[in-house]
Amino acid sequence: MTGILYGVGVGPGDPELVTVKAARLIADADVVAYHSARHGRSNARACAAPYLREGQTEIRLMYPVTTETTDHPGGYRGALEDFYAGAAEELAAHLAAGRNVALLAEGDPMFYSSYMHMHKRLRDRFECIVVPGVTSISAAAAATGVPLVEADEVLTVLPGTLPASELRRRLADTDAAAIMKLGRTFPTVRGALQGADRDGAAWYVERASRADERVLALGDVSAEDVPYFATVLVPGRINAPTAPSGGEVVVVGLGPGDEAWTTPEVRHELSEATDIVGYRTYTDRVHPRPGQRVHASENRVEAERSRHALELAASGARVAVVSSGDPGVFAMASAVAEVAADPAFHDVTVRVLPGMTAANAVASRAGAPLGHDYAVLSLSDYLKPWAVIEERLRAIAAADLALAVYNPASRTRREQLVRMREVLLEVRARETVVIIGRAVGSADESVTVTTLGAFDPAQVDMRCLLIVGSSRTEVTERAAGRIVHTPRRY
């Protein structure tokens, strides 16, 4: 009968954080194994020491390399692969002889642990039982005394070995974070935290739960003193708000519908805001965190909405003004900039963050109809005279540009769409491609490809965006699906 391999989590460092089950299995095991660096010391064994008994066989699995270079022909990874293969066979010999082996793992065996490399190599040959342990993240959070995540906040665990740009992106896109594997990576990690504007709330915890534990604010840490066994925690914003001392307005684009089209940069700003301001249809797409104030208003009050946002910022609030699509395309960025020109708001910071436009979203569903020069036009005559719109339609048609048409119709505004078709047909052929994108990015999405001659304005409602092709725009019927494109060359 073969033995059982127990992957035993011994916790982050304090022997008293070893679970009752782990202590029992360590004491009962015939063989106790643990990994170590070349100096021979093992933190895992130190945690388990009170539970060892006389007569047990101990196996030290000593890494050939840790962070240094190697002359192994397969490089660092090759050296470790050979080591894991040899270590697994050393344990397999004891298991095949019927001995139970407790392989100690710092923290939890399945969480950035060396145990998993043995588990994957031996689980098909022997019974393997994993005993979970307290992770260093749990111990570090306890050491700070600050709740790490609360309510619906999301925790992201990051290795400090990631590139700075990837760390920065993920830090900006989460509520709370735990960053492990520090040591030489600490300067990169600190730079990423600063770049994501998360450093002010970050805690540094070194050797959590051990007698030599240290807990510091990130700014108090010297990079020269950071060991590998350290963790940086960024608590969720409910318990560690990071709002700046002065107010500002950030105008953001949510994208045309699908939440996946909202950029990480915009999500970060929304989570940092104290106040969300916008048209009710768009504020309903935002999921406010506890404590955030949402100021929803009806359509056609852009100036009033902008002034309210700027007044909130002037009083110290961090305000996110939300738009659909891109805020600079027939949306709130222009309105906020116009009101911000008032001398009363000269000291209020205003920033604009881009979003995916509805034109790009609809174009992507059809193929590449905007692949060459194109124009963008709003058909609404609420803020500009119809005569100006008609003049621009003729100029676009004469220039043979593809055209993205925003605000093509509403419940009360239908005749403009009929007139648009008539004006375009004065110059354009009836075979000109027309794409009707409705509610793209939502569950109600539909995309219709037709021609200017066959185009029926009754098909269009306020949730639509139109794309009218140039004379060069082509529709290709394919077995894999129809595709529309405008060539980039003449």
Q: Is residue 282 in some structural domain?
A: yes
Q: Is residue 490 part of a domain?
A: no
CA-nearest of 56, 32, 57 to 46 is: 32
Query: Quick one: 124 and 141 in the same domain?
Result: no
Residues 309 and 380 in one domain: no
Q: Domain for residue 116, yes or no? A: yes
The pLDDT score that the predictor gives to residue 243 is 47
Tens digits of per-residue pLDDT, 202-230?
999 999 999 999 999 898 899 888 998 89
Q: What is the pLDDT of residue 238?
A: 84
If one compares 106 and 151, the residue with the highest pLDDT of the two is 106
Residue 22 belongs to domain with CATH number: 3.40.1010.10
Q: 187 and 96 share a domain?
A: no
The pLDDT value given to residue 68: 61
CA dist 353 and 84 (Å) reads 48
The span from the CA of 411 to the CA of 461, in Å, is 7
- What percent of the chain is predicted at pLDDT more than 70? 98
Contact 23, 11 (CB under 8 A): no
Query: pTM above 0.75?
Result: no
| 26 lies in some domain | yes
Strands 275-279 and 293-297: parallel
Which among 181, 212, 234 is the end of a domain?
234
Strand order in the sheet with 318-323: 293-297, 275-279, 318-323, 248-253, 349-353
In the predicted structure, residue 173 carries a pLDDT above the cut 90:
no
Whether 356 contacts 326, CB under 8 Å: yes
Q: Is residue 12 located within the same domain as residue 77?
A: yes
Q: What is the CATH number of the domain that holds 366?
A: 3.30.950.10
Mean pLDDT across the stretch 457-472? 93
Task: Identify whether 242 is part of a domain.
Answer: no
Q: Are residues 307 and 268 in the same domain?
A: yes
Reported as a single tens digit per residue, the pLDDT across 85-96 is 999 999 999 999
- pLDDT tens per residue across span 398-452: 999 999 999 998 877 888 999 999 999 999 999 999 999 999 988 899 999 999 9
Give the end of a domain, one of 333, 353, 373: 353
Q: Is the pLDDT of residue 365 over 90?
A: yes
Same-domain check for residues 332 and 376: no
Nearby residues of 441 by Cβ (< 8 Å), 6 or more positions away: 255, 256, 257, 258, 261, 361
Per-residue tokens: 418: 């009929």
Same domain, residue pair 375 and 433: yes
- Measured over the CA atoms of residue 196, residue 197, residue 201 and residue 206, the dihedral's sign is positive
For residue 240, tell me if it sits in a domain: no
Whether the per-residue pLDDT at 182 is higher than 60: the answer is: yes
Other CB atoms within 10 A of residue 405 CB = 24
Per the structure, how many domains does the chain have?
4
Q: Confirm if 120 and 132 have CB atoms less than 8 A apart.
A: no
Query: Same domain, yes or no, for 173 and 213?
Result: yes
Q: C-alpha angle 486/455/457, rounded to 5°? A: 125
Check: CB of residue 35 under 8 Å from CB of residue 61.
yes
pLDDT of 462 above 90:
no
Contact 289, 332 (CB under 8 A): no
- Give percent of the chain with pLDDT exceeding 90: 78
The overall average pLDDT reported for the chain is: 92
pLDDT band at residue 47 using 50, 70 and 90 as cut-offs: very high
Is 60 exceeded by the pLDDT of residue 242? no
pLDDT digits (tens, 9 = 90+) for 366-412: 999 999 999 999 999 888 999 999 999 999 999 999 999 999 988 77
Domain with 420 in it: 358-485
Last residue of a domain, one of 64, 99, 134: 134
The answer, yes or no, to whether residue 246 has pLDDT greater than 80, is no
The answer to whether position 201 is within a domain reads yes
| Together in a domain, 110 and 148 | no
Q: What is the pLDDT of residues 275-321, one digit of tens each?
A: 999 999 999 999 887 778 999 988 888 999 999 999 999 998 999 99
119 and 62 assigned to the same domain: yes
Greater confidence (298 vs 114) lies with 114
425 and 469 housed in the same domain: yes
Domain membership of residue 243 (yes or no) is no
143 plus 102 within the same structural domain: no
For residues 75 and 13, the model is more confident at 13
